[in-house]
Amino acid sequence: MSERDSGSDLASVRTRAERTGNGWRLTGTKMWTGGAHVNDHAIVLARTGESEDRHAGLSQFIVDLRDPHVRVEPIRLLSGEHTFNYCHLEGVELTDDALLGRPGDGWRQVTGELALERSGPERFLSTLPLLTALVGQLRRTGGGSPEQQARVGRLTARLSSIRQLSLGVAAALAAGRPADVQAALVKDLGTRFEGELVNEAREILPTAARFDATRGSYPELLATAILHAPGYTLRGGTNEILRGIITRGLELSR
Ligand SMILES: Cc1cc2nc3c(=O)[nH]c(=O)nc-3n(C[C@H](O)[C@H](O)[C@H](O)COP(=O)(O)OP(=O)(O)OC[C@H]3O[C@@H](n4cnc5c(N)ncnc54)[C@H](O)[C@@H]3O)c2cc1C
């Protein structure tokens, strides 16, 4: 979905798919394409028509990432990890069966996909391994003080309630009911929890965060979480944008 100037304002995507004799030609650059260097295919949102309505004239295509007209360029994370990429689409020729759904339905499809992405477990479980390691570390040192236990208990209670909300959105989507607003709410709660858990862990059990410590150990997970935390409230739509969606949804339901 995302491009350099089209993250929050996704309807402004500039990647274009133009009609050719027997299909489409795709041109543009996508940004933050997760796993494009290891995956075989990507789903690309592109403009296929002009319209006064910015949400019309968008379509989705399934693109073979091994096509010689696709160039993948790494975007390194703060940790140095290579997960995300630029994806340069340099006149990729597509046959008609690469179109996902119907032409012009791209916006409806993308907002449906985002409802799943925003409410799913990856929006509140990023730092669960850190919480698990924290509990393990406390257990090894006698279980922790009453204050440490109470703080871990509060984190666990929050996690449990966000999980219930996430399951509620999954049930609504499975029943075919729209849940964009509820999903935005879950992502706002979930991603703030993920980030706050890191700061809480640092206070509950102060430890030097070390990226080079044993993989899966508390110091290593702490270092990983600190370096990843800035992205939690950005990826999948920033919290400011989500609150706009929530506010509009609440106003409509009044
Ligand atoms: C680690 C990571 C992984 C990602 N993975 C993917 C991926 O797999 N696929 C994909 O397509 N994209 C992905 N993204 C992109 C992500 O969805 C965008 O970064 C996000 O939507 C924000 O867009 P932007 O970066 O263009 O920021 P901008 O839209 O330029 O926003 C900059 C700031 O301005 C604020 N802002 C913008 N408009 C408004 C407004 N109207 N009202 C109030 N505040 C506003 C934003 O909240 C933000 O704080 C990823 C991003 C990150 C960091």
In this prediction, what percent of the chain has a pLDDT beyond 90?
Answer: 93
Q: Over the stretch 58-116, which tens digit does the pLDDT of each residue have?
A: 999 999 999 999 999 999 999 899 999 999 999 999 999 999 999 999 999 999 899 88
- Ligand 1 centroid to residue 136 C-alpha, Å: 35
What rounded mean pLDDT belongs to the chain? Answer: 95
Annotated domain spans of the chain = 10-104, 108-252
Between CA 234 and CA 31 the distance in angstroms is: 14
Between CA 66 and CA 85 the distance in angstroms is: 14
Give the residue, out of 13, 77, 238, with the most ligand 1 atoms within 8 A of its beta carbon, to mutate for a pocket test: 238
HEC per residue, 27-64 = EEEECCCCCCCCCCEEEEEEECCCCCCCCCCEEEEEEE
**Whether the CB of 106 sits within 6 Å of ligand 1:** no
Q: Over the stretch 41-66, which tens digit does the pLDDT of each residue have?
A: 999 999 999 888 989 999 999 999 99
- CATH number 1.20.1340.10 is the correct assignment for the domain at 108-252: no
- Ligand 1 centroid to residue 144 C-alpha, Å: 39
Q: Over the stretch 161-192, which tens digit does the pLDDT of each residue have?
A: 999 999 999 999 999 998 999 999 999 999 99
Residue 8 has pLDDT above 90, yes or no: yes
Residue 193 has pLDDT above 90, yes or no: yes
- Ligand 1 centroid to residue 233 C-alpha, Å: 9
What the block records as the tokens of 208 is 């030097």
Looking at domain 10-104, which CATH architecture does it have?
Answer: Beta Barrel (2.40)
Give the residue, out of 235, 243, 248, with the most ligand 1 atoms within 8 A of its beta carbon, to mutate for a pocket test: 235
Number of alpha carbons in the 13 Å side-chain half-sphere of residue 54: 7
Other Cβ atoms within 10 Å of 17 Cβ, number? 29
